[in-house]
Amino acid sequence: MERRKFFKSVGLITAAAYIGPKVFGNNQVPVKASGIEGVPASEFPPLPFAYNALEPYIDARTMEIHYDKHHRAYYTNFINAIKGTPIEGKPLSDIFSTMSKQTDAVRNNGGGYYNHLFFWKNLGTGSSGPSADLSSAITKSFGSVDKFKDTFNTSAKTRFGSGWAWLYIGADKNLAVASSPNQDNPLMDISPVKGTPLLTLDVWEHAYYLKYQNKRPDYIDAFWNVVNWEEVNRRYQQALKG
């Protein structure tokens, strides 16, 4: 009974450590290095802000369905897909780096679980923008912050069908932009673009259709008003240390 109790507490602590606080924004408590790439949460993680927090850029109804239906389904299906298999209890970083050996259910639902966790963290209001360090790196790779945004926008607009746009640090340590299909991401060994992701945008129709219908470019433009740069900056600094 004591053992049971102990493991139960550890599970809760682990979950709390990388779900992060419910308070959103600049006062976010830094997550551990393992962060969202760690062991999957034992319970579906809370959205780090209210459904209406990103209005008018992302509407409350879209946020509610996106988080409570789509994201929750990925989480549930992922947990079910790994249950009783050798990868149960393994960090997401390990699962993604061996994705070529995993099932389609693990690839699609594991990606869907992680990509949305990542996306929620890099959304917010009242952000001040990229740090001096990140701005320099962006300027080095893209010419300017505006040119970086143009590149990212083009990547997001031209992803055919469903997928994600990413800013990531490639193997050469430089910043790069790419998109991925479906629920793939740059941490997966099967991805043609590999690296450490810093910022992402969900361009599945479920992310914008209620408000923007077929106008994906309008949704992409609106996205820049709700980027939580403090989280992007934090991930950049963490990646430099790693």
- Footprint of Mn ion on this chain (CB under 5 A)? 202, 204, 207
Q: Give 53 or 239: the residue with its C-beta nearer to Mn ion.
A: 53
Its sign, for the CA torsion 21, 27, 29, 34, is positive
Q: Give 65 or 239: the residue with its C-beta nearer to Mn ion.
A: 65
Name the phi and psi angles at 164, rounded to 5. Answer: -140, 145
Whole-number minimum distance, CB 24 to Mn ion, in Å? 18
Q: Give 12 or 105: the residue with its C-beta nearer to Mn ion.
A: 105
User: Which among 185, 216, 48, 199 is positioned nearest to 112, based on CA atoms?
Assistant: 185
CA distances from 27 to 20, 37, 45, 125, 217 (A): 11, 21, 19, 12, 31
Whole-number minimum distance, CB 152 to Mn ion, in Å? 17
Q: Give 34 or 108: the residue with its C-beta nearer to Mn ion.
A: 108
User: Which among 5, 45, 10, 14 is positioned nearest to 32, based on CA atoms?
Assistant: 14
Q: How remote is the C-alpha of 205 from its chain's centroid?
A: 17
CB-closest chain residue to Mn ion: 202
Q: Give 139 or 182: the residue with its C-beta nearer to Mn ion.
A: 182
Whole-number minimum distance, CB 209 to Mn ion, in Å? 11
Whole-number minimum distance, CB 164 to Mn ion, in Å? 8
Whole-number minimum distance, CB 228 to Mn ion, in Å? 17
